């Protein structure tokens, strides 16, 4: 018990943060190496994929040389990595700087993913709490049942369903996202369907987590005391149960970030959303390793960042208890 009461050494805590950052950065670097290697393993290469009919072997060889494809994979990867700290993401197979190619789409995807994350973070705990008010009641069963149902749905199915109901049949929202003059989404109403398509499966998942975390917490001794004291349910929920469940909920939402980016590729395609999903699918077709790696680096950095924040939040809330 005495250990728990002692204030943690601030130096040690800073070290832990640095270590966590380094560990995640190394993981990201390994991931990028795997991505490079995976693109290499696909049949064909960037030179053939971006050529047109009628280019002879000589032209292809020249293109290969220009793209540096005649050098070993490791050298190419290393050079690409060396540029990263300066913000240089390399050049695509079509000769355009990767940073330029992602400059428009990446913020759009961030907006889409960020909004979906915000919706998830707001709705899931609320639903979880609502269900927890009367454990085993009608609301609880409905919420848990539908949460399980939607978390099993692929984003694609959700997207197409939303498209049919909220656009084609009712005409409430635009079916497709158009790009505005500034490269962003032309109209905010165009965000509704993609955000919902992305958020709904995650809401299902996180509602389950929130409900379970609250149930766990309700078995804690101080809650039983509160119940025995005859405090109102609502008060118990908001003041006693929820704070204890926050770390688990935060981690759940944070892990959703990765799923959101994965789902974004699919959802963006369905709604023609001008994000990195389209860039990524095209880059894979073009065997464009720097472009694929650029997308992975940016999304990986965001996911890493969110997970790190969640880690720190957990440490803060639990004070090292977990």
| Cβ nearer to another protein, comparing 3 with 181 | 181
| Cβ nearer to another protein, comparing 129 with 291 | 291
- How many binding residues for another protein (CB under 8 A)? 57
Q: Name the minimum Å distance from CB 31 to another protein.
A: 20
Q: Which residue has the tokens 């990867």?
A: 77
The answer to whether the CB of 316 falls within 8 A of the CB of 13 is: no
The answer to whether the CB of 145 falls within 8 A of the CB of 139 is: no
Report DSSP letters for 189-209, one per residue: GGGHHHHHHHHHHHHHHHHHH
Q: If binding is defined by CB under 8 A, does position 189 make contact with another protein?
A: no
Q: If binding is defined by CB under 8 A, does position 109 make contact with another protein?
A: no
| Cβ nearer to another protein, comparing 183 with 232 | 183
Core vs surface per residue 144-179: b (16+ CB within 10 A) or e: beebeebbeeebeebbeebbeebbeeeeebbbebeb
Tell me the torsion sign for CA atoms 30, 36, 42, 43: negative
d(CA 55, CA 271): 35
Residue (of 162, 131, 160) closest to 148 by Cα position: 131
- Judged by CB under 8 A, which stretch of 14-22, 117-125, 233-241, 282-290 contacts another protein? 282-290
Secondary structure in 3-state letters for 292-315: HHHHHHHHHHHHHHHHHHHHHHHH
Binding mask 144-183 for another protein (x = CB under 8 A): ------------xx--x--xx--xxx-x--xxx-xx-xxx
| Cβ nearer to another protein, comparing 82 with 96 | 96
Q: Name the minimum Å distance from CB 74 to another protein.
A: 22
d(CA 251, CA 23): 18
Q: Pick out residues in 262-281 that bind another protein (CB under 8 A).
A: 268-272, 274, 278-281
Q: Name the minimum Å distance from CB 260 to another protein.
A: 19
From the list 31, 49, 151, 246, which residue makes contact with another protein (rule: CB under 8 A)?
49
Q: Name the minimum Å distance from CB 55 to another protein.
A: 5
d(CA 297, CA 318): 31
- Judged by CB under 8 A, which stretch of 5-13, 44-52, 116-124, 215-223 contacts another protein? 44-52
Q: If binding is defined by CB under 8 A, does position 101 make contact with another protein?
A: yes
CA end-to-end span of the chain: 14
From the list 8, 44, 145, 232, which residue makes contact with another protein (rule: CB under 8 A)?
44
Q: Name the minimum Å distance from CB 90 to another protein.
A: 13
Q: If binding is defined by CB under 8 A, does position 188 make contact with another protein?
A: no
Q: If binding is defined by CB under 8 A, does position 201 make contact with another protein?
A: no
| Cβ nearer to another protein, comparing 119 with 166 | 166
C-alpha atoms less than 13 angstroms from C-alpha of 242 in its C-beta half-sphere: 16
Residue (of 122, 275, 107, 116) closest to 193 by Cα position: 116
d(CA 247, CA 40): 41
The contact set with another protein (CB under 8 A) reads 42-45, 48-56, 59-60, 62-63, 92, 94, 96, 101, 104-105, 156-157, 160, 163-164, 167-169, 171, 174-176, 178-179, 181-183, 268-272, 274, 278-283, 285-288, 291
């Amino acid at each position: 018990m005495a250990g728990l009461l002692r204030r943690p050494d601030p130096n040690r805590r800073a070290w832990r943060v640095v270590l966590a950052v380094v560990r995640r950065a190394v993981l990201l670097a390994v991931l990028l190496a795997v991505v490079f290697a995976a693109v290499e393993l696909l049949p064909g290469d960037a030179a053939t994929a971006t050529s047109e009919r009628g280019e002879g072997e000589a032209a292809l060889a020249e293109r290969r040389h220009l793209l540096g494809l005649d050098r070993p994979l490791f050298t190419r990867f290393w050079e690409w990595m060396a540029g990263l700290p300066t913000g240089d993401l390399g050049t695509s197979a079509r000769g355009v700087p990767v940073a330029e190619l992602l400059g428009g789409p990446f913020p759009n995807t961030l907006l889409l993913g960020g909004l979906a994350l915000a919706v998830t973070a707001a709705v899931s705990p609320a639903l979880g709490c609502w269900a927890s008010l009367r454990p085993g009641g009608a609301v609880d069963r409905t919420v848990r049942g539908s949460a399980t149902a939607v978390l099993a749905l692929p984003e694609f199915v959700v997207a197409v369903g939303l498209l049919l109901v909220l656009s084609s049949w009712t005409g409430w929202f635009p079916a497709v996202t158009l790009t505005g003059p500034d490269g962003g989404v032309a109209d905010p109403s165009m965000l509704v369907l993609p955000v919902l398509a992305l958020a709904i499966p995650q809401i299902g998942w996180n509602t389950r987590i929130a409900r379970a975390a609250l149930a766990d917490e309700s078995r804690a001794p101080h809650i039983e005391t509160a119940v025995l004291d005859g405090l109102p349910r609502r008060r118990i929920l908001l003041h006693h149960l929820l704070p204890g469940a926050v770390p688990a909920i935060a981690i759940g939402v944070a892990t959703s970030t990765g799923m959101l980016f994965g789902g974004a590729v699919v959802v963006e395609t369905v709604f023609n959303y001008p994000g990195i999903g389209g860039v990524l699918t095209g880059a894979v077709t073009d065997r464009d390793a720097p472009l694929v790696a650029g997308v992975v680096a940016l999304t990986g950095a965001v996911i890493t960042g969110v997970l790190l924040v969640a880690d720190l939040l957990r440490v803060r809330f639990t004070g090292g208890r977990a």
